[in-house]
Structures are given as structure tokens and as C-alpha cells.
A and B are shown apart, each in its own frame.
Chain A
């Protein structure tokens, strides 16, 4: 591999093939420029269109070479790195002076057939491309032979390119291979791209190739290759090799996702079966659970999680959530349920009542660590025994989770035990949707400015529908109470003798008082 590091320069070509004995007329400063191709020109038009990095061989001719100076400046403007010309009257001081000024080597050689000279030099210049073909075919063989994991792919790539290779997450975290320093905003452009190496020559180019499973959601990972300083041809080799390796990594990632999705589906199917008949799990069900590492017997503590907003990329969220829980020692069998996820911890003995901090604390830490990615809430159930206990604790967890995310409360993780009745009600009152509903129910009274009627009906319901108690509480006559209640019933079109009606109106009154209090 070491030969490939040598860029082919004008200086190297000077002593080779048809340029043996060539004389450098001017432009010594440019001798170490890299030659990327050999071009033969005979007209000014062909001189203007040589590719950058070309060493130009001028076809000898009577009329063409009299404009040698124009050709020199044209090929240099196009990015040529050298000019080979035969000796003759066209080669005058103005041409050598110009080549010197342009820093472009002007080689005077003896040749009859410019095409033959170009062919000879071309073979030398394209040697790196032969090396490239070799690298790519070797890499292809390696990738076909084995490597289902990215690690060995990265190792092979790094070894063949004499550089460092790493697999990087879209936020820049190293997933496998070497840790590489990325420039600011390096992963903004979602297409393969290359950063030129530092000017001081300590480091070479940095090649970045995205690993994309779903074209719509952008790169899932990045394959990064840090090259040592070297010629441009080698960077091209690295870019092509990295694309090849990235496709192998893409295959691996796709396989992994497919397995993950299949397993996830199996889990949620199995869990719904279990929860459907928790008392009598069938033998099949129990065996399938065991296969997934689920212990039916023992004490389960259920956890339910859900996003506060519906997630745009659920698959990705599942992955990062799993990873975050794993970091807190809560990893395991995350099961997708409805809009959220469930999992549980199983212990041989009944956990002590005081031990629910053991779940809540790491859970909170895991959710906090994800706050950059998504806002999640979680609920935790009580420890419950056996398969039927699993269903109960998960139901409790789900309830706790629902409450954890509602209203004015900012609790991210709620334990079912922490939720008393008052709290439950307070949570209800603070629900925006319920407040709207309450206002709707009491609207006829509000619209008329009947605050007195609202106060009366509220007191009446708080005092178990007793007109005398209400009258005593409000300091008014009993008949007045009865008359006001009748008006309320007529205005709201309800019958407070019916328990359902009573409940709705009472809840509405309380909710509005709660929101008034909140507002003040």
C-alpha cells in the first residue's frame, strides 16, 4: 500500500519514459505538483479545456506553437500543472518567463509523436488508479467473506486505507471504531462529502459517508474515515472504499432493525395475549414468554411510558429510549403498547414498600437524558405477584403515566401510590378540555351573570342536596334555596334528583372554581 501514498508529480515524470533527458526551461516552483492526467493539445481551444492537474504535451506544429505563450496561459488557467514542448523557434524568452511567472514547469523534450509520449506518461500517472481498483476489489472480497458487525468492517477499511475509521451517530457520538474529531457542522450536509485536511499537513482529508436506511428521515449513522496526508487520488480511493463499506454497514443496520421490529411485534402481541387472560396463561403463551426472557412467576413492578406529543419518528425514539434505559440499568424488554411503551422488573421476593425509588430514580434519570430528543412521561405500578399481577401492575403504571403528564403538574415520573384521590381530582380539574366542557355546561348561568345561582347550586350539591343546610350555610331562607335550585334546573335543563346530573354539575362547578383559583 505504501506506493500509493506517493503522488505522481511533475518532478517524478521528468526522469521517466519519453521525458528522460528533458530540460526544464522554467517553472521549477511547480515541480512537486501532483499530475492527475496527461493531455495532448494542438489548438488553443483544446488548451483551454484541459482538466485540472493535467500535464500538457503540445503537439509540435508550425502554426500552433507560435502562440505557445497563449497556450501556456490558457492551460494554466484551466489548472494544468506542467507543459511539455519540443525545442524550436517557438520557444522564446517570453514563454519561459511566462512559465516562470505562472509557476508551471515548462519541459523541453525531444519527441516526434506526442500521442506516444502521452501514452507512456499516462501509464505512470494512472498507477494510483490501478491501486484503487486493487483496494476496492480486496475490500469487496473482505466484505463478502464475513463481517456481520460494523467493527470488523471498520477495521478492514482503516487497515486498507492506512487511516482511521469510525461509525458515528447523527449527533456525533461514536458508535463503533475510532473516535474521530469532526469539524463544526460536519454532518449538516446529508450527502457523502469530504473535508480537506489541515493546511499544516498533519492530517489528511476526512471522508464522510452517510448510512441511510430510510431516505426520508435522513442519515441513521455516518461512516467517517480520517486519512493521513496524501494525494488527491488516494482520497478518491478512500471515498469509493467508504461508500462500499457504508453499504455493508447499511445491510447490517437494516438486518438489525428488521430483527428488532420483528421481536418488538412479537413482544407486543404476546403481552396483549397475556393481559387478555392473566389468570390462565396458556402453556404456549408461557413458553413464548420464557423464550423472550420473561419470568411469569415472581413479583413484577410495571412501568409505562409515553411521549407528551405524538412522536414523529417512533422507531428511532424506541431505539434511543431502549438505549437510555439500558444505561440506567433498566434495559430489557421494552414492549410497544398503544402510543407508548411498557416494561417491568421482576424480583423473586416481594420488594419492600419503600423501594419504589429504586425504579423511579433511574427512570427519571433516563427520561432526563432524553430531554434533548423527546419529552416523555412515565408511570410506575405497585409490585404484584404472578402473571395476573403483571397485568395489574402494568394497568396501574398506565394510569399513573396518564396522570403524570396531565395538567399543571410537571411530574415526569409518577408512582401509583403517590396519586391520592384529591390529587386525582385536581388533575381532572386542571385538564384544559374538561375546563372547556365545564364552562359549556354552566354557560347559561354565566351568560346571565347569575353568580348567585352558581354559588347556591354549588353549596346545595356540597351539602348533599339539603335545602336547609344550604340555607344555613348561605344565610338565606330555605324556600329561596328551593326556588333558586328550580331556576338552575330550568336554565341548565338538568334534573338534580338524578345522580348523573348531580355529578356533572358538581364537577363543573368545582372545575371552574379550580381554574378561577389558578387564574388568580
Chain B
């Protein structure tokens, strides 16, 4: 158990963007960081606990947000959305939750559970269902473990509440995505509360501790620490020379071409669909999903989202091996290159061309 204080906000924020691999809410966590700070100031630090540190019968509610981070820019987080969603789920299921847990360790999604935990005065279970950026709510280790998350409650800023029940998580996602325009572009969400046993079996435990440590190393620009602790590897350094984009359904699909800063005849091609998914040099895979590909601004060391990457930026492309759970057959079916439509087999970062 440890305490998440205001001092931990920058590290979590950095790690959430790094692990978001270009996604995580488009504009990054800058919109929710002040809300987290305010919540911590008002309600005090959040206890971050391991699943075993709570009584086994305790229930933790998975919370997050769904929709467009870009819209959130225009229509900011009002602050009470998640709490209302949690109350909605409690009311519908007739249970009382004893803790909060993360859904996906990516961008705003990684920050929202901490805000909710502070506002609700509940501990935060040190776990999430992805350990990295994902495009769909169904792309989680919970899906792999066969754990359904319905019923779920969704709330928008003007007080609308939507409760989805009787369908599985994937169908619940379809319903809520269709409702997004009516709800104003984004919504806070709370899923069915999970037992400690379900969390241990179906989630990646230790996510927040890991994120805080990675965020600190990233802030210190400690590449050696990141390499030693998390297998991070710098793939390429250079200038973005081309970013053709096209829109495919909900996602921003496109390509980033980075020209090497010293060897001008070298170029790295990164394919993106909200997240950075595949990195190629000379037609050979250097890294691909589910391993993490992150683009950092060279000068500031800040992560650049797929939505903000643009011509002329000097960048460092970093790759980090994913959690082993994603490298299983079931994991690759959910988050392998083919699940994004790429005609290629997964090549683990450690075996990809150096």
C-alpha cells in the first residue's frame, strides 16, 4: 500500500501518455491533471492497494471515460461524472463498492480512476486491464479471461445517465458509442464492480506502481533505467518528414515517416490507428502491437499523441515490450497486428530487427 499524492501526478501523467502509445485521449492528460490535483487537495491522498490487501469480499468498481478526448477540449470534465456513474451502478446492482480500479492504463483513462478514488474516498486497487493504449474497451485482459463487465453506467456533463445491462461488454461498447453524439461526445463510465479474485485473475496487477516508476524515470530522462526495468529501446531518432492521414470509421489512421537525424537515407515508417501500431524500416518490422511504440519530442522528452504528431518535429521513437499476457494466442487475437488489419505476423520486440 502506498499513498498517491499531488507529487505523483506528473509521473502518472507522463507514464499514462507513454503507455498510451500515441492514444489515450488525443490531447493527452493536460485536461484532467488539474482536476486530479484539485481532488487530491480537497479529499487528501489516495491509498493505492494490492488486491490481497483488501478483504476478499471487497468489490472494486472499474471506472474510466469513453468518447473523444478532442471533444473534451471544447467541453471540459465537469468533475462529478464518474461519481454519478459509480452511484448508478451501485443503485442498479444493489451493492456498495469498497474500492476503485483502473480499466486501461492509457492517457485520461489512467488518470480518471485516481480522481474517482479521491472523490469517493475509496482506495485504488493497483491494477488495470491493458497496461497500454487500446482502441476498444473490449481489448482488455478481462475479455481474455472471459470476465464480463456489464451492467455499466455512463454519465454526461449535463446530468444524463445511461445504464446498459443484459448484453456483454463488447455489445455494451457498441451501444455507448452510438449514444456518444447524443451524450455530447464523451461520457464517464463505471462498470460492474469486480471481486478481488476477478481482479487477480483477469487484470494486470501493479499497474499504478509501475506507471509511477516509469513516469519518474521518464521525467529524469533515465533511458538506462527504462531499459533495465522495462526493456525500453530507442528505435530511431530523427525528423518527422511526412504524416499522411485518413479517416477510417472512428479512428485516425495514418502514417508517420521519420527521417534519421544522422543517416539521411534511413527512414522509419510508423503506421497508426489512434495508437502507433507498427514501425518498419526498409520493409522490416522493428516493432509492432501489442508491444508499445511511443513517439517522444526530442527536446522536451514529452510524448506526442498520434493526433498531434506533425511535420518538422524532431522525435525519438521508443519501443517497450508489452505484458506477456498480450503475447499469448488469445492476446494477439485481440491486439496483434492482424486485429488492426495488417497482413503480418507479430514479431516480439526482442526478436525484431535491431
Contacts and interface: CB of A to CB of B under 8 A. Distances in A.
Nearest to A44: B343
Interface string B238-279: 000110111010000011010100000101110100000010
A92 B344 contact: no
B318 to A, nearest CB: 19
B343 A64 contact: yes
A155 B225 CA distance: 80
A98 interface: yes
Contact of B255 (A45, A70, A73, A92): A92
Contacts of A101: 265, 282
Contacts of B267: 93-94, 97-98
Contact of B283 (A64, A70, A89, A90): A70
A95 interface: yes
A67 B269 CA distance: 10
B255 A98 contact: no
A72 B282 CA distance: 9
A93 B342 contact: no
Interface in B319-354: 341-344
B259 A93 contact: yes
29 contacts: A44-B343, A62-B248, A63-B343, A66-B255, A66-B342, A67-B271, A69-B269, A69-B282, A69-B283, A70-B284, A70-B285, A71-B283, A73-B282, A73-B283, A73-B284, A89-B245, A92-B242, A92-B255, A92-B257, A93-B242, A93-B257, A94-B268, A94-B281, A95-B269, A97-B265, A97-B267, A98-B267, A98-B283, A101-B282
A25 interface: no
Interface in A64-82: 64, 66-67, 69-74
Contacts of A69: 269, 280, 282-283
A43 interface: yes
Nearest to A73: B283
Q: Which 4 residue pairs across A and B have the least CB separation, nearest first?
A: A73-B283, A63-B341, A94-B269, A89-B244
Nearest to A63: B341
Tell me if A's interface is mostly helix, strand, loop or mixed. Answer: helix
A67 B246 contact: no
A94 B280 contact: yes
**Which of B242, B284, B343, B344 has the most CB atoms of chain A within a 10 A radius of its CB?**
B343
Contact of B342 (A63, A89, A92, A97): A63
A90 B271 CA distance: 10
Interface of B: 241-242, 244-246, 248, 254-255, 257, 259, 265, 267-269, 271, 278, 280-285, 341-344
A73 B282 CA distance: 7
Interface residues of A, number: 23
Contact of A67 (B244, B248, B342): B342
Contacts of B246: 89
Nearest to A43: B343
B257 A70 contact: no
A95 B280 CA distance: 10
Given A70-B344, A90-B255, A93-B267, 7 more contacts: A62-B341, A66-B341, A67-B280, A70-B284, A74-B283, A93-B241, A94-B257
Given A43-B343, A44-B343, A44-B344, A92 B283 contact: no
Contacts of B248: 62
Contacts of B244: 89, 92
B154 to A, nearest CB: 31
Nearest to A89: B244
B282 A66 contact: no
Contact of A89 (B254, B284, B343): B254
Given A93-B241, A101-B265, A66 B283 contact: no
Contacts of A45: 343
Contacts of A97: 265, 267
B242 A67 contact: no
Contacts of A95: 269
A87 to B, nearest CB: 11
A150 B314 CA distance: 75
Interface string A78-122: 000000000001101111011001000000000000000000000
